[in-house]
Structure 1
Amino acid sequence: MVKRRQPSSRWFAERGWKPFSFQKAVWQAVADGESGLLHAATGAGKTYAVWFAALDRFAGQCASLPTSAGRGKPAMAPLTVLWITPMRALATDTARALQAPLDDLGIAWSIGLRTGDTGSAERARQARRLPSALVTTPESLTLLLTQANAREAFAGLRMLVVDEWHELLGNKRGVQLQLALARLRSWQPSLMVWALSATLGNLEHARQVLMPAGRLVQGHDAKDLRIDTLLPAAIERFPWAGHLGLRMLGQVVEQLEGSATTLVFTNTRSQAETWYQALLQARPDWAGLLALHHGSLSREVRDWVELALKKGQLKAVVCTSSLDLGVDFLPVERVLQVGSAKGVARLMQRAGRSGHAPGRPSRATLVPTHSLELLEAAAARRAVAQGKVEARQAPERPLDVLVQHLVSMALGDGFDAQDMLAEVRSAWSYRDLSETQWAWALAFIRHGGLSLTAYPDFRRAEPDAEGRWRVPDARLARRHRMSIGTLVSDASLTVKFWARGGSGSLGSVEEGFIARLRPGDHFLFAGRTLELVEVRDMTVYVRRASDRKAAIPRWNGGRMPLSGELAEAMLAELDAADQGMYQGPEMRLLRPLLEVQKAWSALPGKNVLLAETLKSREGWHLFLYPFAGRSVHLGLASLLAWRLARDTPLSFSIAVNDYGLELLCASAIDYAGALTPALFDSQDLLPEVLASLNAGELARRRFREIARIAGLVFTGYPGAPKSTRQLQASSGLYFDVFRQHDPDNLLLTQARQEVLSQELDVQRLRQTLQRLQPLPLQLRSIRRATPFAFPLMVERFRESLSSEKLADRIRRMVSDLEQAAGAGAQEPAPLTTLMVEDDTREPGRARKARRSKDGRPRPARQRS
């Protein structure tokens, strides 16, 4: 008897390919019935490693299936594999990749898509019979589980694959997936689970979150990853963040000319709009060959760009994180990263968009937007070479996600409370869920807790006569299905042309930006300069405009603090420079700046805390350089100001960036005597952080997201969404009611915890204090702003000066500083580039700490 060859060996042999060792390891593990985590470089072949493992294990079982009635074709296998992706675009691309081997090998499996874009006809077909392999998202999977026949529909499921697991692990979408997986495991205890990732620093934790036991497979076949830097002709010795690197435009154009297809990544949508316009103005002949891609553009525009990329029809695409993930664009030869990627994993992920195939090199070129980003570039190359990738930690017990899940599971066949408790505790994030928390969650979905019992809209689920929890109201069931998910953003307005018969939607902008414009104002969007005509029914009507001086929309979510791994690599580069070793082209070009810093003060380092003091007409300045990132520096600056003013009432202005912080006091203060180890004590940190910041207002803002996920706030029906103001008012009302009448409400507790863990990053703040406290203090009294202090001063000026006045002041300051620094000065940047604002800045970062009634400093409310 001739042994039948496995699909994997047949398909690879037909192409003359040899599988990598990690692919064969996955095939064997699945053959043995094991789960696992596959960690390999982007474009190395992870998808086919797991897909062919599934085909080898399960496709042979379809050979003897009966033919479809009257068609003479074998019936398709039932649902066997669930493939989870974090993005809709990635789902479409994955389905296409999975289909190719089925067609080539004649395997009787069907591939289906289930995302928010899936049409009603396809949904109806899937309601009758799910495909053999379904590619879907965490939200759509939860929706499928709400169907009354869900258990029967998933009866044949044998494997679940989570693609790009690093994108889900550390957020609430990953928790939602954990809960859905717990339900599937309760139905199919032998279900195999495989996770795929290319950029994880804590592999064992990532594996444990998805599976109690499993194999870790590492792709040791190294991917050729090339990271280099586009060096400017000269550098500014007194840099500042804000001009977006547009002086590098000519060099960027030269780089694009030398490649067939390039992705130009920016960190924000505002940057993408600016760079797209700049490239088009520099090369008008590239019209039609340049494209723009970010999350606020319409789906039709994004789909067109992605298809044109696949066909190799575009010269370059200016994009954001909307193209970060594993969509396969084979024609892309290289990647340009405008500005620092702020993290090692993000840089590696974006670099992997080029040469996205086994054996092809991936190349990313960093385009610095100011001089100190040369230091970040050198550090990034060091960290990539050493494999130092950021870790991601799964959230602990988010109760808003839990109560949403409970209502979702009550929609279908319902659930038994004790069985559901065991099921929920099998999810890693809820492994320590207490009986008290469980009782609160059940009470919350039954009547809204202590303060909302009288309102019928909060009776979302309750036990029936048999003790099984169900949703008793069809209207509430419909509302809940429309609200499933954990992705929360500000309300957006659709942008359309005003003329009748014009094209459809151009995309969406956030309501807060449009609220600041008046009819007739111009703004830049979708690569066009547009004039606002009117705002009506959540729609922004516009016409084309020719004026190039236009506002640029500011979307939320653009804050990207420096990662700890990248910061550590930067300090290592500075330590080497302090010893006279300028390694690599970036550090050699940066040498004049670092020599001025060293001559006027000293270089920050890993084993020393540099503090600079300066007396100016503004007052007494303190500059510190912990290199811990923006969010940590904000908490640290507020904490230090609070501690410095405990004995003597003082007011401070605060400014922070990724490298350090500035405290400015109008009154005389002895910083030298105050900078003792006790100032950096990490004991009793929590109450002092809460005292030094407006934590109540921060918790109120965080509660908006929690209220939406938990189902307290309904965002509206399709075509009639509620405005941001309505949602804010509703969530604020619940916040006040709970605080006054139900202070022990666990959603309030969660809001406070999320402020501390996410917005203020208290854990990293504690670690920073513990690192700084034993370090020897290198105190330098300076006569003028050093190259590291200057950008901190600019951050503070932003809050009080218009763009024009800020540019004028920076020009004068740079001229004076360069004159004092002597030979080697570079001409300041043109005024037109100085006036472009950097959207990665945290709004309201430079703040004043005010005195409260008891004389202690109280920070000013942060601008939103």
Structure 2
Amino acid sequence: MALPSPFADWFAARDWTVHPHQTAMLTRADAPSLLLIAPTGGGKTLAGFLPSLVEISKNPASGLHTIYISPLKALTADIRRNLGRPIEDMALPIRVEDRTGDTSQARRRRQRADPPHILLTTPESLALLLSYEDAPRIFAGLRRVIVDEIHALAESKRGDLLTLSLARLQRLCPGLRRVGLSATVEDPPALAEFLGPTSAPCEILTADPGPPPDIAMLDTGAPPPWAGGGGRHAIPAVLDQIARHRTTLIFHNTRAQAELFFRDLWLANEDALPIAIHHGSLSREAREKVETTMTEGRLRAVVCTGSLDLGIDWGDVDLVIQVGAPKNVKRLVQRIGRANHRYSAPSKALLVPANRFEVVECVAALDAVRAGDLDGEPRGPGARDVLCQHILATAAAGPFDAEALFAEVRSAGPYADLTRPRFDACLDFAATGGYALRAYDRWQRLKQGPDGRWALRDPRTAQRIRMNLGTIVEEETLKVRLRPARGGAPLGEVEEAFAATLTPGDTFLIGGQVVRYETLREMVVEVSRSPGRDPKIAVFAGTKFATSTRLADRILEVFRAADWSGLPAHTADWLALQREVSALPERDRLLVETFPYEGRHHLCVYGFAGRNAQQTLGLLLTQRMEAAGLAPLGFVASDYATLIWGLEPVNAPSDLMDSNELYTAFSGWLARNAVMKRTFRTSAVIAGLIERNLPGQRKTGRQATFSSDILYDTLMRYDPDHVLLEITREEAMKGLVDFGRIEAMLARVHGRIDHRRLDRVSPLAAPLFLEAGRVPVKGAAEQRLIDEAAARLMAAAGLS
């Protein structure tokens, strides 16, 4: 397919050159599956749409031709604006609409009756469309599906949901062509397999990467603090950079950190530069206001989180600042690409380490970006709780044949190796709830007819299934509004657990402003503005990222380097002192230090396995120490180490680190730990066992948790082999506890443990004493301290 003259003229009128990868997308327009990897600002989204725009302009028949899928609702709105320009300029007879959770019911009904040529949507909205009985008619003319930022979807259950929807679309539209777009791909063949379908190999098209980014660490004039993650020490230097640039994005890893940094930045902003804050816990109105103001070029800086990670082209951003270590090279590359969003201009970014150790991590991340060394953990098989949901959604669309559905599911990349027994277990769960629950009518949802096909027992169930589709299980949050509640502006939401700690008069931060808690009415937190300067901080539901395996390896490479000239002098001196006093950690060996401090014996294990895994390691080691009579008192973990303190010295750390013993301890701990119940709740909501949304009502987070706890205890007692408990165990092994990284670390060191017995705290361990999040151990040591204190008291009183 060549570029028709109206399109060529449109490019020429703007002095734009058609990039080779855009031309290649046209010439390969008929490829069944194509993955385009092009740098941010390289016009990859336009490249994905060009074949559709050309095809529809030549044959503007009514009906749905192309579906565009993105991870973010805001990204669909941005794409609609950008697509509108060429369509309007060339007067193309093409109708483009979006369909997300923000789309009105009336508009959704109209779209089903009269679909646009191009529909911009999300994985959840696509799954919902496919659950209607008229899906074959809606998608009858569909020719192409474009998945933008596909790498972001492939890393979560939203990606599993998407691939199952694509498999369904492929059955409805056998000639469907799939296009994946991404700027950051560490393993192109793996992502191509994810895009699928399994029946046709996916072609990979790689564009010229463009100029390398202009990246460095921000010189703040003084060393960062030894601990903490806020980066407030850098605010004067950050304000100076904002003043020197047109628009600056200031990324943070958590919403709470973004709120605190924005408040301090605002208080220090003596020149009254227009700045704003943007994150996922703010109200839609607040986010849209920031987006509009930024698009119009009226903001000098936006403090933000992952809500602005992906390819939204807003304003004239010419600088990105990452506050805090990025934890993940791929995420850093994505964020860097927001600056100078043009193919020919290098992106400019500055990193701000929030504490002394993060200096090393930032240097390692900068080296990785310059080398084009992206990280990424290998994806496991498709999640089965998502498959359970997909089976229910398929039934909502009409009767189905199990054999045909099994083949369809196996055509989706993540489910290519799914066995029939595992599929049948999910089908049985969707139909009856499983052995222990089949006696309850509420979970008797499917029945098999005389023709062998499966269908809903009660057609009215379809509405409830649709209301609960999706894999994003929201944290228990409450809306926050300014008083009066009905007329007051919505500010965002806070976690239910945080709201429960508030009493009238308490203040907290949200959206960059201090508000005072007044009351809780009808599940809405009512607040008023407060002039206070020292608020509480809302515990937002943002993710705390763990340092990736690849980045951790690069940090260890920095330690091993003979030349530390790339490090600031204060950090190089710190590492040199560590090497002199003890040793520096190595990738294939495990450094363990023991030392006394303030009357306690300490054990420090440098696993470099990420915060979640190091936290789990602390739980397991203290459990083993308790059994061995070593009287642990508590521990604290960071991304690189676990520090444990207790009443007895650990003379043989290797005895505690046996992988088989740790796995046994882990399995026992997991079975009785709250992590299992929390994981079960999430999987139960996704699989459809627990309904968060019901016609005319919505369960609170606490109600859903109460329901899931009862179900979990019931299944553990009466049906321990239930498929949902199997799924829960699989999910709990990763994510919150990340035991897989502990196993990988132990396999890598293979018993090579370097035990350093020290007479004082080591330089590398010292910052761990300042880490937040200390976990006390309630065991024999606690009772021993109580007994010793009682004995001293009685002796002081002259009693024996």
CA distance in 2, matches of 1:851, 1:40: 58
Which of 764, 788, 803 does residue 764 from structure 2 map onto? 788
Q: 1:442 to 1:60 in 2, by over 3 A?
A: same
Residue correspondence of structure 1 range 24-103 to structure 2 within 5 A: 24-30=23-29, 32-56=30-54, 58-59=55-56, 61-62=58-59, 77-103=62-88
Structure 1 residue 663, shift from structure 2 partner: 2.5
Partner of 1:543: 528
Contact 1:342 1:560 survives alignment (8 Å): yes
Seen in structure 2, the aligned counterparts of structure 1 residues 454 and 192 have a Cα distance that, compared at 3 Å, is same
Report the AA paired with residue 529 of structure 1: V
Matches within 5 A, 1:187-336: 187-211=172-196, 212=198, 213-235=201-223, 239-242=226-229, 244-283=230-269, 285-286=271-272, 289-336=274-321
Counterpart amino acid of 2:564?
Answer: Y
Would the alpha carbon gap of residues 509 and 474 (structure 1) be closer, same or farther in structure 2, given more than 3 Å must change? Answer: farther
Map of 1:825 onto structure 2: none
SS of the counterpart of 2:615?
helix
* Distance in 2, Cα, partners of 1:719 & 1:603: 60
Cα contact 1:8–1:53 (8 A) shared by 2: no
Partner of 1:383: 368
For the residue of structure 2 that corresponds to 1:207, the secondary structure is helix
Contact 2:556/2:587 (<8 A) preserved: yes
Distance (Å, rounded) in 1 between the aligned partners of 2:734 and 2:226: 32
Helix, strand or coil at the partner of 2:454: strand
1:336 match: secondary structure: strand
User: Matches of 1:220 and 1:849 in 2, distance apart?
Assistant: 58
1:750-761 residue pairs with structure 2 within 5 A?
750-761=727-738
- Are the counterparts in 2 of residues 77 and 109 from structure 1 also a CA contact under 8 Å? no
Give the match for residue 689 of structure 1.
Answer: 666
Offset of 1:11 from its aligned partner?
3.3
How far did residue 79 of structure 1 move? 1.0
Contact 2:329 2:374 in 1 (8 A): yes
Aligned to 1:705: 682
Name the CA shift for 1:342/1:444 in 2 (closer, same or farther; >3 Å): same
CA offsets 1:273-312 (integer angstroms, 9 cap, x no match): 112211211125527x211111111111111111111110
Query: Which has the higher mean CA deviation after the structures are superposed, 8-17 or 369-378?
Result: 8-17
- Following TM superposition, by how much is the alpha carbon of 1:679 offset from its aligned partner in structure 2, in angstroms? 5.4
- The answer to whether the 8 A contact 2:594-2:650 is kept is no
1:468-502: CA deviation from partner (whole Å, max 9, x where unpaired): 43334354322221111010122221111223774
Letter in 1 for 2:74: A
Q: Which residue of 2 aligns with 1:814?
A: none
Counterpart of 1:626, as a letter, is G
Determine whether 1:482 maps to 2:467: yes
Letter in 2 for 1:848: V
Amino acid in structure 1 at the alignment position of 2:46: Y
- Structure 1 letter corresponding to 2:737: L
Which digits, 9 at most, give the CA deviation of each residue in 1:494-545, with x for residues without a partner? Answer: 1112237743311111111110111111111122111111101100111111
State the secondary structure of the residue aligned to 2:478.
strand
Q: Secondary structure at the match of 2:184?
A: coil
CA contact (8 A) 1:681 1:773 kept: no
Shift of 1:177: 0.5
**Counterpart of 2:775?**
846
- Measured after TM superposition, the shift of residue 706 of structure 1 is 0.8
Contact kept? 2:57, 2:94, Cα under 8 Å: no
In 2, distance between residues paired with 1:88 and 1:229?
32
1:582 and 2:568 aligned: no
Corresponding residue for residue 396 of structure 1? 381
Deviation string 1:57-112 (CA, Å, 9 cap, x unpaired) is x23541xx5xxxxxxxxxx5421111110110011111222232222223222111
Decide whether the 8 Å contact of 2:603 with 2:650 is kept in 1: no
Q: Matches of 1:186 and 1:702 in 2, distance apart?
A: 33
Aligned partner of 1:510 among 495, 510, 527: 495
Aligned residues: 778
For 2:616 and 2:776, the matched residues in 1 are separated by: 12
Q: 1:789 to 1:540 in 2, by over 3 A?
A: same
Match of 1:764 among 741, 748, 754: 741
Deviations 1:319-363 (A, max 9, x none): 111111111124111111111111101111111111112212211
Name the CA distance, whole Å, in 1 between partners of 2:518 and 2:244.
41
TM-superposed deviation, 1:37:
1.1
Report if aligned partners of 1:447, 1:459 keep a CA contact under 8 Å in 2: yes
Q: Partners of 2:331 and 2:279 in 1: how far apart?
A: 16
Q: Which residue of 1 aligns with 2:786?
A: none
Please tell me whether the aligned partners of residues 85 and 138 of structure 1 are also in contact (alpha carbons under 8 angstroms): yes
Q: Which residue of 2 aligns with 1:665?
A: 646
Partner residue of 1:636 out of 617, 623, 633: 617
Aligned to 1:150: 135
Moved more, 435-444 or 78-87: 435-444
Tell whether the 8 Å contact from 1:83 to 1:134 is kept in structure 2 after alignment.
Answer: yes
> 1:167-196: CA deviations, max 9, x gaps?
110211111111111111112222111111
Q: Does 1:655 align with 2:644?
A: no
Q: Distance in 1 between matches of 2:189 and 2:422?
A: 28
Contact 1:200 1:392 survives alignment (8 Å): no
Q: CA deviation at 1:589?
A: 4.5
Question: d(CA) in 1 for partners of 2:737 and 2:20?
Answer: 43
Distance 1:718 1:346, change over 3 A: farther
Q: Distance in 1 between matches of 2:742 and 2:175?
A: 42
8 Å contact from structure 2 (residues 255, 542) kept in 1: no
**2-side partners of 1:12 and 1:683: how far apart?**
63
Q: What per-residue deviation string (whole Å, max 9, x for no partner) do you get for residues 662-687 of structure 1?
A: 222311331xxx244x7545457633
Per-residue deviation at 1:138? 0.5
Name which of structure 1's ranges 765-774 and 295-304 shifts more when overlaid on structure 2: 765-774
Output the CA distance in 2 between the equivalents of 1:845 and 1:432: 42
Identity rate of aligned residues, in percent? 36
- CA distance, structure 2, for counterparts of residue 682 and residue 598 of structure 1: 28
Q: Are the counterparts in 2 of residues 79 and 132 from structure 1 also a CA contact under 8 Å?
A: yes
Q: Is the 8 A contact 1:29 1:35 kept in 2?
A: no
Question: Are the counterparts in 1 of residues 485 and 526 from structure 2 also a CA contact under 8 Å?
Answer: no
Q: Distance in 1 between matches of 2:649 and 2:400?
A: 66
TM-score normalised according to structure 1 size? 0.86
Once the 2 structures are TM-superposed, how far is the Cα of residue 759 of structure 1 from its aligned partner? 2.5
Q: Which structure 2 segments of 5+ residues have no match? A: 782-800
1:775 and 1:649, CA in 2 relative to 1: closer, same or farther beyond 3 A?
Answer: closer
1:718–1:266: structure 2 CA closer, same or farther, 3 Å change rule? farther
Structure 2 length-normalised TM: 0.92
Contact 1:524 1:552 in 2 (8 A): yes
Q: Structure 1 residues 532, 682: closer, same or farther in 2, change over 3 A? A: same
Give me the whole-angstrom Cα distance separating, in 2, the residues matched to 1:78 and 1:325.
29
Instruction: Evaluate the alpha carbon distance shift between residue 780 and residue 88 of structure 1 in structure 2; reply closer, same or farther with a 3 A threshold.
Output: same
Contact 2:113 2:138 in 1 (8 A): no
Identify which of 615, 622, 631 aligns with 2:603: 622
- RMSD between superposed Cα atoms in Å: 2.5
Give, in angstroms, the shift of residue 641 of structure 1: 4.3
Check conservation: 2:317, 2:338, Cα contact below 8 A. Answer: yes
Give the superposition deviation at 1:757. 2.5
* Deviates further, 226-235 or 169-178: 226-235
Q: Could you tell me how far 1:763 is from its partner in structure 2? A: 2.5
User: How far has the Cα of 1:411 moved from its partner?
Assistant: 1.4
1:466 CA displacement = 4.5
SS in 2 for 1:573: helix
Aligned to 1:815: none
Q: Which moved more, 1:347-356 or 1:715-724?
A: 715-724
Contact map agreement 2:247 2:315 (CA 8 A) in 1: no
Distance between the aligned counterparts of 1:380 and 1:85, measured in 2?
A: 27
Shift of the 116–604 alpha-carbon distance from structure 1 to 2, 3 Å rule, reads same
User: 2:574 corresponds to which residue?
Assistant: 593
Of residues 688-697 and 419-428 in structure 1, the stretch that sits farther from structure 2 once superposed is 688-697
Secondary structure at 1:100 match in 2: helix
